[in-house]
Amino acid sequence: MIMVSPGRIAGLLGITIFAALVTVSASAECNWSNQIIIHPEGMEWQYTEKLSDMDSFVFKYDIDNRQGNKDQFVSTWELMKGDKQMRERFRDAIEREMDVRIDNSSLGIEVLDIDASLSKNALGPVKSMTELTNTYQVTYAFPGGLLENGSTIWFLGEPGSLLSVNFPEGTQIISTKGIDNVSIRTSYLSGRFGAINECINVTDNESLTNEDLTDESVSNECVTNESATNNEGADAEGAEITYIIDIVLPPQNNMSEELGENESTIPVPTDIPSPGIVYVLLVIAAAVLLSKD
């Protein structure tokens, strides 16, 4: 009979548990996507974060531990506090390093608003691994003429994350760099943020660092990634677009355009008397003449 020591049994059990955890972590998913809409006076950048399995567990665990009472349950109040925390995190990161540049400069680009919307599926027991979709939106303002007079626009994004960019009408995309699987149409492109040392070019046309979202024993790479949080090394990453913009201005309602240079604004009567009235007047005139004779 083979005798197995308690120490060896404990070791085998530990290996089994570790393997199980690795398997669960490998099945977890976290996907970022970026939707950017550019206007002559500014732009909106919406980040969409999708979490599932272990990533969603870590996200809820962090909210319960940092914003709540650590009762293994995420309440509405805790989720609202988490929403506020994410807004502050985005703002702090952008203030440290702007993730948008025009002609290799962020001078004059202003952040007007930062919005966050955390998934309501995060409510409830922490241990339930539900699918979560969180959205964050940053609104920027450009000084007058900055975009039209520029020639390149640059974005810092999470490598591998989906990207779509809508440019103002009249933008012709010349070339791209820093975007994988690029698809280009009129004033629009899509693809994925590429690896380091890649970039974009156009005509008329995020480096997230990992922060601990839980305690020292729990961390999650995707949840802590912040394309708008810590942009160190921005010069080496991101997508750069070279462009020329032919802005199509809306028509102006000027009197000279509506009437023309030589047209008068004085109304001219155009009513013509009917034949019946003319006949009656002629009869009366004839009667008057005959009476005088």
pLDDT tens readout for residues 216-259: 434 344 433 444 434 443 344 789 888 888 755 556 565 444 44
- From CA 47, how far away is CA 163, in angstroms rounded? 10
Q: Report pLDDT for 276.
A: 67
Confidence band of 177 (pLDDT split at 50, 70, 90) = confident
Is a pLDDT exceeding 70 seen at residue 172? yes
Q: Report pLDDT for 29.
A: 61
Q: Dihedrals φ, ψ of 5, to 5°? A: -70, 150
Residue that the structure tokens 């939106």 belong to: 137
Cβ atoms 63, 79 nearer than 8 A: yes
CB atoms within 10 A of CB 275: 8
Higher pLDDT, 271 or 8: 271
Q: Which amino acid is at 282?
A: L
Q: What is the mean pLDDT of the chain?
A: 75
Alpha helices in the chain (DSSP H): 6-27, 54-67, 76-96, 146-149, 221-224, 255-259, 275-292
CB atoms within 10 A of CB 135: 15
Q: Which helix (H) or strand (E) holds 181?
A: strand 179-185
Higher pLDDT, 36 or 27: 36
Q: What is the mean pLDDT of residues 193-214?
A: 46
Its pTM stands at 0.65
Residue in 149, 151, 185 with CA at minimum distance from that of residue 169: 185
Q: Which residues pair with 139 in a beta bridge?
A: 44, 113
Q: Compute CA distances 192 → 50, 73, 91, 182, 183, whole Å.
A: 16, 36, 24, 7, 10
Residue in 197, 132, 190 with CA at minimum distance from that of residue 159: 197
Higher pLDDT, 121 or 201: 121
Higher pLDDT, 69 or 2: 69
Token output for 44: 């909106």
Q: Report pLDDT for 267.
A: 53
Q: Report pLDDT for 195.
A: 67
Residues across the chain: 293
Q: Strand 110-117 vs strand 29-39: parallel, antiparallel, or unpaired?
A: unpaired
Confidence band of 44 (pLDDT split at 50, 70, 90) = very high
- From CA 229, how far away is CA 32, in angstroms rounded? 14
Is a pLDDT exceeding 80 seen at residue 26? no
